[in-house]
Amino acid sequence: MPTSEPVVSPCWCCAGEFAEVDLVRLGARPEAAICLDCARYVKRRAVARRDEHRWTPSGAVRGGVQRVRDRVISNGWHERGPLGAFLRRLDRFLP
């Protein structure tokens, strides 16, 4: 009996291979797809770009979080054992 392989497509951002359920198709460009992690990253970048155009209290908080995130990455703390695991998990819940 033939088994059907799940259809996989590449992410246009990171080039990883993902099942269709793990991809977001881009509206008018259905051939373009990005994985869920890259979609989260693109959303974060889009909000940061919007924050550059006008000051808001929530934008200031997001900017502060981004500066801390940049510091953690530049120091490599996100790759350090249990501390790194905690920081990567925490990052999923931050703006």
What local confidence, expressed as pLDDT, does residue 2 receive?
57
- pTM of this prediction exceeds 0.85: no
Is 69:92 a contact under the CB 8 Å cutoff? no
The pLDDT tens digits for 62-84 are: 999 999 999 999 999 989 999 99
Which phi and psi (to 5°) does residue 79 adopt?
-110, 10
Burial of 16 (0-12, 13-18, 19+ CB in 10 A): middle
Taking only the tens place, the pLDDT of each residue in 24-49 is 998 899 899 999 999 999 999 999 99
